[in-house]
Chains A and B, each alone.
Chain A
């Protein structure tokens, strides 16, 4: 969702009291509700209003009017870059404040004073401080990764003969006559020459709770001033800089030293000129990965504002010019700050101190981070920062400066810092010290963890090693050395210092402030102080020289800031979600339980009938109907045969009786109780349906015992021994079922069905796979079992099987009932007789003439008749007397006829 904005060009005087004007391009982003407080959002060096578009939209969504503009000399604004001069850029910004005062969308304090906060990164951060210092209409200010004193940033000197008494953690020497930070200054200057911004960080710094995969894609950073335009290569040697700035840079870049005039120019353009005027609430955001504007710059700003009576909140994040822009949550924190101080919304962000501790890398490739919060930035009021002492040791060493300062040690790669921002800890391992060019002093292994937070200090002694020049340029750095010797340079930062050496060869003693950093130094690790003669990022001494370097005091003073680790707010919604999810699960369980309770259905009048099936139908979605409107009863003491060819629906019916498959229609009652899946009445049924089912890894005996244990019934009801004897497996019962033959499994399965001596025994094709003697025994078992007061239901596709085993029979075909009744009845056909004769028509005539005989009909080679009490012998003799040759005479086998008819189809 894009936020609407209005563009406007605003003219401002080129300088105070000048008639010439410059045109400043601006954008005014409007939130959904106006009037609202305004935020002025300044861009970084080399950028334009387009490079802060995304952040402007974010603020607008939080309900602020946002004003962005291109500073003079950048983007489409005209004029020349004067490095945030109080007379030029700052005046332009005041003009913009006037403009905000005229807009109805902007909330006003009193009269024409707009309610406004100012923020910006780097160059824009310095502007926000300068504007807050000179113009009281600014209500709050959040400068990000910016400088306090440009002279100290570009020409730092970290050594002083007498140490300063600053009590803050990251206070550095800020000595005069510093060492030129050549690489960074060049990049910074060329950004103004070509509108290609190498100085602003690209991408975002990693944040706590983020994994690498959560990193958003790189935003179009502050690069390439005007979008789409090819970079203007040059506008002469001075580019878009004012002649004064250009001359000052040329002087420093060529000589490596700054004249008083140049220092004045830089200092006048720096926040340090106005920090004593800033009374507005200030949140200083500085990066821990920043070799351009280090933590010492915000430290100085914080001290100066506090001394003048202002209130400061300090935030150090895991980014900076080498490490990336503030990430989402830090930008959110800035917006929260603005919301509290401009809108009065949210909780008071306070005036505390937050810093981010980077740990080692995870396997995913991002460093793990945690944020530590202290109630205030130490040393600003009253008590000074806590310092711990680490003993260093090392003899006096000689370090040589090569002629021309080349080759030089490598500590950081300015400009590439952005490219390496994702791997700042990797770049911190890139540092190289050249042999012979450095003195090294090492501590013992630490016996507990030390969380270094700020600038350590050490006192050094430097003397001439030979007839070298009268001063030494040296670079101090503090390595974290792990047990295996891996060295890490926290923040990739070095502390350059220039020290004048007494001509008599005696030693100069100086206190060196090492670069401020945040680093958890583990126990067992060592600290190593390296003092080298060269550094690739700085203007090194040209003259070859040798220096004798030693420790003036063996104690390294390390600042620590105790605090509590921040945990991200407890996710209340997720917690509620857990509670609701658990309640839903419990609720579903309770509902299911009540529904089961209500499902019970019994008919007491049928309590003695083992099985009643009525209207049973099972049809499948595909249109197949396996059982159709089947009804029959099994009475107590019967051995009922369910006869039908394969596919008649016998097994499906039995499965429904066991509650394994759900009938489509009709119902089944066992001893009066309706059968549902798992109905308790099923405990009175023993079953063997379509094959055995045993755990193959257990023996036969173990299978039966575990099966009975699974029913939960008392062991004495099971009669396991008797059942096993019925199976008659001999020693094989102790072998794994896996090794059994088909027949053995079948017998074991039938034994399992008989466990607990069930009232209704259901066996599906029990004689399949048995040999004839075993089949014979099986019939015996079933008959005698029924005789002992039980009921047996046997299915079979073999007529002989049913005839020989069963008392009653139900014939099924294609899922429907064909015939039902006593086996004898159906088999004997109710007194009908069949005579196989040579001449059926003649025989039929004879039989019709016999008294009592009726229903005579003939087919190919036989004649059938209902004898109605007439003995078959009488009919036989009548036939013989009539001269009919009788081949065979006997009861009519209707069952067989019916069955053969079915099977024959």
Chain B
């Protein structure tokens, strides 16, 4: 298109000024234009539309759908002994559909899932800043605490959807490939399929809670920087650092304070007699870290000068 087509019809100016002349702004007691309500700004559905239409979101969700197929295919290619009934999570993966789901969560638990959460939360404010659209949202005006909250909730919805999507697809793939048999745990217990599904559902909920610290940190970095990559990458780096430190044995009990320490505690759910203690501690740890980071994010965003 050439620039000559970009022009304003003189009639349009008349239309606009006519509209302006006829529309008298009514003012509410708080000084706002009537029709404006802070609690109606940036509804979740609007923010979700803004996010879902992004290629980034679509690629991540697509990858999560694809991953179980890739895993199943790689087991197919490298298959030596189908339907193993003993061994670790990886050895047990082909024992049943549920075991396949467990494997999928197990292999993605340390890096992929934190990264996805970091992506949704770390990118949410920083990318608006990088597009310069943040200032227009704030001047709309969307109150800052509300913008942060609505964006955090939307990111939470997307993250939880992604977290649930992966095991859901894995379950479908696993049931088709390996059947709806008993789930076998590494402790040598066998549980019926239905219990396995419930266990996986609870595991997804626990993972979601446990990753709250990732969400909080990513949100904090997201309001602290205008570079989305910095917020996401920084969060992932901290997560990796925590996992590395968790492997340093001389640290002893200090490692209990690492935010990733209880990341794999959901494995306890696969036993017939569930031990909740590790998961309770993991929930507490995630809440404290996530809460601190979220409060820091809210404080930083409230007092921040928005310049981009």
Digitize A722-753: 1 where CB-to-B-CB distance is under 8 Å, 0 elsewhere: 11011111111000000001011001000010
Given contacts A693-B132, A725-B8, whether A711 and B140 have CB atoms under 8 Å apart is yes
Taking a contact as CB atoms under 8 Å apart, the answer to whether B86 and A360 are in contact is: yes
Given A571-B277, A671-B27, A685-B139, is A691 in contact with B132 using a C-beta cutoff of 8 Å?
Answer: yes
Task: Flag if A660 contacts B305 (CB, 8 Å).
Answer: yes
With a CB–CB cut-off of 8 A, which chain B residues contact A732? 1, 5-6
Contact with B along A542-578 (1 / 0, CB 8 A): 0000000000000000000000110111110011011
The verdict on B280 contacting chain A, using a C-beta distance below 8 Å, is yes
A680's contact among B20, B28, B247, by CB below 8 Å, is which? B28
- Partner of A578 from the list B135, B182, B284 (CB cut-off 8 Å) is B284
Nearest residue (CB) in B for A757 is: B20
Binds B, one of A218-226, A305-313, A522-530, A844-852: A522-530
From the candidates B92, B106, B137, B288, name the one contacting A710 in the complex (CB within 8 A): B137
- Chain B residue contacts of A217, Cβ below 8 A: 249
List B55-100 residues whose CB lies under 8 Å from chain A.
55, 81, 83-92
A486 to B18, CA, bound (A): 87
Residue contact B145 to A696, C-beta cutoff 8 Å: no
Given contacts A209-B278, A574-B280, contact A689 B135 (CB under 8 A): yes
Q: How far is the CB of A710 from chain B (nearest CB, A)?
A: 5
Chain A hits for B53, CB < 8 A: 697-698, 702
Which parts of A588-606 form the interface with B (CB within 8 Å)?
Answer: 588, 592, 596, 600, 602
Residue of B nearest to A213 (CB): B249
Cβ-neighbour of A600 out of B9, B30, B133, B135 (below 8 A): B30
**Contacting residue for A672 out of B31, B33, B92, B143, CB 8 A:** B31
Residues of A close to B140: CB separation below 8 A: 682-683, 707, 710-711
In contact, A788 and B17 (Cβ under 8 angstroms): yes
Are A368 and B136 within 8 A (Cβ)?
no
Residues from chain A with a CB closer than 8 A to the CB of B49 are 706, 709
Flag whether A784 is at the interface (Cβ < 8 A).
Answer: yes
With contacts A449-B189, A660-B139, A662-B303 known, is A784 near B13, CB below 8 A?
Answer: yes
Q: Which residues of B contact A790 (CB under 8 A)?
A: 20
* Distance between Cα atoms of A522 and B181 in the complex (Å): 14
Using a Cβ cutoff of 8 Å, how many contacts connect chains A and B? 331
Q: Does B21 contact A (CB under 8 A)?
A: yes
- Any chain B CB within 8 A of the CB of A8? no
Given known pairs A678-B144, A691-B132, the reply for A670 and B302 (CB within 8 Å) is no
B36 partner residues in chain A, CB cutoff 8 A: 680, 683, 711-713
Whole-angstrom distance between the Cβ of B279 and the nearest chain A Cβ: 9
A357-B186 contact given A483-B83, A710-B41, CB 8 Å threshold: no
Q: Is B300 an interface residue (CB 8 A)?
A: no
Interface core residue of A486, A695, A719, A743 (most chain B CB under 10 Å) = A695
- Chain B interface size band reads 35 or more
A232 close to B (CB within 8 Å) = no
Instruction: Check A712/B40 contact, CB under 8 A, given A360-B86, A363-B90, A569-B277.
Output: yes
* A contact residues around B18 at 8 Å (CB): 788
Give A709 to B131 CA distance when docked, in angstroms.
18
Instruction: Judge if A870 is at the interface, Cβ distance under 8 Å.
Output: no
Please tell me if A891 contacts chain B, counting CB pairs below 8 Å: no
Chain A residues, Cβ within 8 Å of B189: 359, 370, 449, 520
A577 engages B307 (CB within 8 Å): no
B188 A575 Cβ-Cβ under 8 A:
no
Q: A596-B145, A681-B30, A709-B43 are in contact. Are A370 and B187 (CB under 8 A)?
A: yes
Chain B residues with Cβ under 8 A from A758's Cβ?
Answer: 25, 33
**Residue among B255, B271, B283 making CB contact with A565, cutoff 8 Å:** B271
B residues near A789, Cβ cutoff 8 Å: 20-21, 24
Range for the number of chain A residues in contact with chain B: 35 or more
**Set of chain B residues within 8 Å of A662, measured between Cβ atoms:** 303, 305
Chain B residue at minimal CB-CB distance from A680: B32
A564 to B271, CA, bound (A): 13
Task: Tell me which residues across on chain A come within 8 A of B54, comparing CB atoms.
Answer: 695, 697
Contact A693 B145 (CB under 8 A): no
Cα distance A565–B138 in the bound complex, in angstroms: 56
User: B276 interface residue, CB < 8 Å from A?
Assistant: yes
Within 8 A of B (CB), among A577-592: 577-578, 581-582, 584-585, 588, 592
Name which residue of chain B comes closest to A359, CB basis. B187
Q: Report if A694 contacts B (CB, 8 A).
A: yes
**Smallest CB-CB separation from B45: which chain A residue?**
A709
Scoring B36, B88, B138 by chain A CB atoms within 10 A of each residue's CB, the highest score goes to B36
Closest chain A residue to B29 by CB distance?
A: A602
Check: A655 CB closer than 8 A to any chain B CB: yes
Given A660-B135, A695-B133, A707-B140, also A684-B186 (CB < 8 A): no
Q: A655-B307, A683-B36, A789-B20 are in contact. Are A360 and B186 (CB under 8 A)?
A: yes
Task: Decide if B138 touches A482 in the complex (CB within 8 Å).
Answer: no
CB of B305 within 8 A of CB of A683, answer no
Among A655, A673, A710, A785, the most chain B Cβ lie within 10 Å of the Cβ of A710
Q: Interface code A389-410, partner B: CB below 8 Å = 1, 0 otherwise?
A: 0000000000000000000000
Chain A residues near B35 (CB-CB < 8 A): 713-714, 717
* A730, B40: Cβ atoms closer than 8 Å: no
Tell me, yes or no, whether A860 is within 8 Å of chain B by CB: no
Bound CA–CA A752/B137 (angstroms)? 11
Q: Which residues of A contact B84 (CB under 8 A)?
A: 482-484
Within 8 A of B (CB), among A610-624: none
- The answer to whether B8 touches A592 (Cβ under 8 A) is no
CA distance A592 to B182 in the complex (A): 51
Q: Is B241 an interface residue (CB 8 A)?
A: no
Mark A residues whose CB is within 8 Å of B.
209, 213, 215, 217, 357, 359-363, 368-370, 449, 482-484, 486, 520, 522-525, 564-565, 567-571, 574-575, 577-578, 581-582, 584-585, 588, 592, 596, 600, 602, 607, 655, 658-662, 670-673, 677-685, 687, 689-698, 702, 706-707, 709-714, 717, 719, 722-723, 725-732, 741, 743-744, 747, 752, 754, 756-759, 771, 773-774, 777, 780-781, 784-785, 787-790
Besides A213-B249, A744-B6, A773-B7, 6 more A-B contacts (Cβ < 8 Å) are A363-B90, A696-B131, A710-B50, A714-B35, A723-B16, A743-B6
Listed by A's residue number, 28 A-B pairs whose Cβ atoms lie within 8 Å are A213-B246, A217-B249, A360-B186, A360-B187, A361-B87, A362-B89, A483-B85, A520-B187, A567-B273, A567-B274, A571-B281, A574-B283, A574-B284, A575-B280, A655-B305, A677-B144, A684-B25, A697-B55, A702-B53, A713-B35, A725-B8, A726-B8, A731-B5, A759-B25, A777-B7, A787-B17, A789-B20, A790-B20
Q: 5 nearest interchain CB pairs?
A: A712-B40, A359-B187, A693-B132, A680-B32, A681-B31
Residues of B within 8 A of A (CB): 1, 3, 5-10, 12-21, 23-25, 27-28, 30-33, 35-43, 46-47, 49-50, 53-55, 81, 83-92, 106, 128, 131-146, 182, 184-190, 246-247, 249, 255, 271-278, 280-281, 283-284, 287-288, 291, 294-295, 298, 302-303, 305-307
